[in-house]
Amino acid sequence: MEYIRKSIYKLPEIRRTLLPLWSSWVLTAIGVLCGVLYIFLPNLSDGGSSALVGGIIVGGCSLLTVLCYWLFGDSRRPYSRELHAVLEPTYAYYATAQEQALVAALEAHDEKALEAIKRQAKPELALVRYSDREERCYYSQLTRVEGKRYVPLTEIIINKNTKN
């Protein structure tokens, strides 16, 4: 699965999603508010210098939280510039005997033929598809499942405007 995600990012119309700008500002504002409360509440602070240091620590911690979420959180998903939508993966599993029929249906962009091919629960072949919620476009790749690895059998096949 990692292979298709890396390949999708190489397409010119796809980019990684970033956090919305407002979320980092909200977290920073919460940190500043905590710092201001720390400074002006006499029960929590001894003097001006320790209050200033406490405010800086709280603000720095909130900025560190924003940075960690941006780097390691759920902010790196494929985003289609053309569709203005985040692409979500779906998986369908098939028997190895269905490989030629799957490749033919994918290359012909025939969704009806693809739906007619029988799926199975045990993964031998996996059809990995990234699409938006309205399914206006599919980025598909047929892979062979080898243990926990997905070995690509086809290049990424783009099928646009499948549902109008």
Output the tens digit of pLDDT for each of the chain's 164 residues.
Answer: 667 777 887 888 887 765 555 666 776 677 677 666 766 665 554 555 666 666 677 777 777 777 766 666 555 678 888 888 888 888 899 999 999 999 999 999 888 888 899 999 888 999 988 888 888 888 888 999 888 888 888 888 888 764 54
Looking at the fold, whether 116 and 132 belong to one and the same domain comes out as yes
Looking at the fold, whether 9 and 50 belong to one and the same domain comes out as no
Looking at the fold, whether 108 and 143 belong to one and the same domain comes out as yes
CA distance 9 to 79: 9
For the purposes of burial, counting CB atoms within 10 Å of the CB of 127, is it exposed (0-12), middle (13-18) or buried (19 or more)?
buried
What's the pTM value of the predicted model, to 2 decimals? 0.63
Specify the number of domains making up the chain: 2
**Location of structure tokens 């970033």:** 18
Domain residues for the domain of 88 are 2-13+81-160
Helix (H, G, I), strand (E, B) or coil at 66: helix
Looking at the fold, whether 85 and 152 belong to one and the same domain comes out as yes
